[in-house]
Amino acid sequence: MGLFEAAGSRVIESPAGTAKLDRAPERSEKGGHRSAERRLVQVALAVDAVGALVPVGVLCAVTGQPQPWLTALLACLSWLAVGTSKNRYTRDEPGGGAAVMPVVWDWLTMLGVLAVVCVGARVEVGLKVCVVALLPCLALSVARRKLVHRYLLAMRRRAQALRRVLVVGEAGAVDLVLAELAHGTDHAYVVVGSCIVGEGATESALPVPARLASDGAAPEGALDGETVLRCAAELDADLVFVAPGRQLSAARVRRLAWALHDGGRNLAILPGLIDVSQHRVRLAKAAGLTVMHIDPAARRGLPVLLKQATDRLGALLLLVLLAPVFAAVAAAIRLTTAGPVFYWQIRVGRDLMPFRMWKFRTMVVTADRMRAALESANEHDGAMFKMRRDPRVTRVGRLLRRFSLDELPQLFNVLAGHMSLVGPRPPLPEEVERYDGTEVRRLSVKPGLTGLWQVSGRSDLSWDETVALDLSYVDNWSYAGDIGVLMRTVRAVVDGRGAY
């Protein structure tokens, strides 16, 4: 999610509309985050070392490979070296996420490094034996990454293993940071106070131990570092977020960074980007300037072709494998209600192109004519119409919706190219008529059979949350992200949360 992907400081809105702390860690817990990070880094090193050393040594010895334990040692060192070069064992990496593809790329890189090392050390080992022996290493690293991520999420939701943050910037910038951070609790940051630049008023109820003079009042910014260090010490903040602005110039931030680093405090710069994935950000240097390039969302090239091939082949394969399920669902609908088995609606696809979307019928035949009389009972904000107890849904239809079986005929839409396996929810034409310029961007890609909306709560989400998820998908799409959504879909279908 880019700059604010860790969004969600433990701040909530008070009745008056100002932000305040929610379950902020006690000062006696200072250092708890660092000790937890050190333990997790040690666990990562141990798991990766054992995962490479033991399987390679045992399998090479069993298969009669020469110098089995030397090969195992080289594999272990190669794996740890690749991890170190990719910063996998730094303090921030354990909470970096549960993505699988970075570990896979590391593993493939390690195979190449090990091949070169074995040639240089004149160690002979069978390629197939070595690759098979290193598969447990990959599996253990993926499992460790996911377990650590879940463990940290659980701790953070209990207000543990958090980093105490002091925010420095103009009043408006500080309020923006707090608003973005208040969207979630799945990160390591808890804002404990702010240091405002200038005399502007902030809406936050957080402590403001001191203020910095405006840039014009203090052209050299000589006291900035001393003031911020004093505030950080008073609030036990080990990290300082700086939001540059008109009164906080680049030269002033540079001097502040010197002072913070000399004083043993860490610094993070907030450039003002929202919901930009890390894979779209590139840093460059130009005449002393740090230039941040933001790559456009992927719309062509090999990853897009791979997505298209996955859509068509995946839909075809699923249609074949799920043919008995189609037959069973069709029989259940036919035997319990009057009317057709399938139901179609006009939906709006990519670039506002309408298409006919197919579903198993879950409502009575007259459902569309009953819609107008139920508008006042709509339980969803925004453009969508949703009711938890919609009287138009049949008994079998409720079961089909609970496990998303009614969506299966959309595989024909995927096969025809109207939809993708993963994408935003396909909207109705009347919903699109109410879209503003931001919401219509959801339709710059094909709608999906599943997507971030479906795996994040579905109808339980507000309209703003739905739009935010879809825009995040559109702007930050990646093939690996699609694979992750497909894997999460299985759990979402079993869970059934928000399916009505």
Per-residue pLDDT of the chain (500 residues; tens, 9 = 90+): 333 333 333 443 433 333 434 444 544 444 555 666 778 888 888 888 998 899 988 988 888 888 888 888 998 999 999 988 888 887 666 555 666 778 888 898 988 888 888 888 888 777 788 888 889 888 888 888 888 878 877 777 777 777 889 999 888 888 888 888 877 666 778 888 889 888 888 787 888 888 888 765 554 545 788 899 999 999 988 899 998 888 888 888 888 889 899 888 889 988 877 778 877 888 888 887 788 888 888 888 888 999 999 999 999 999 999 999 999 999 999 998 888 999 999 999 999 999 999 999 988 887 777 777 776 666 655 566 667 677 888 889 888 988 889 999 999 999 999 999 999 989 999 889 988 888 899 999 999 999 888 787 766 677 778 888 889 899 889 888 888 888 888 877 766 554 54
Integer CA distances (angstroms), 186 to 120, 157, 166, 371, 468, in order? 45, 7, 19, 39, 17
Q: How far is CA 417 from the centre of its chain?
A: 27
Here the contacts of 24-29 (C-beta below 8 Å, separation 24 or greater) are 24/159, 24/190, 24/192, 25/159, 25/160, 25/162, 25/164, 25/190, 27/236, 29/160
Say how many C-beta atoms besides its own lie within 10 A of residue 129's C-beta.
18
**Phi, psi (rounded to 5 degrees) for 223:** -95, 0
What pLDDT was estimated at residue 1? Answer: 36
DSSP, collapsed to helix, strand or coil, labels residue 141 as helix
Which value, in Å, is the radius of gyration of the alpha carbons in the chain?
Answer: 27
Q: Identify the pLDDT of residue 352.
A: 92
**Sign, Cα dihedral of 115, 120, 125, 130:** negative
Tokens coding 2: 């880019």
Pairing state between β 266-269 and 239-243: parallel
Tell me how long the chain is: 500
In terms of C-beta distances under 8 Å and separation of at least 24 residues, what long-range contacts does 21-29 make, across chains too? 21/190, 21/191, 21/192, 21/206, 23/158, 23/159, 24/159, 24/190, 24/192, 25/159, 25/160, 25/162, 25/164, 25/190, 27/236, 29/160
pLDDT at site 14: 37
| Cα–Cα distance for residue pair 170/241, rounded to 1 Å | 12
Taking the C-alpha atoms of residue 491 and residue 334, their distance in angstroms, rounded to an integer, is 29
User: What are φ and ψ of residue 170, in 5° steps?
Assistant: -70, 160
pLDDT of 383 reads 62
Cα 454 from Cα 461, distance rounded (Å): 10
Three-class SS of residue 239?
A: strand
Contact by Cβ (8 Å): 489, 455 = yes
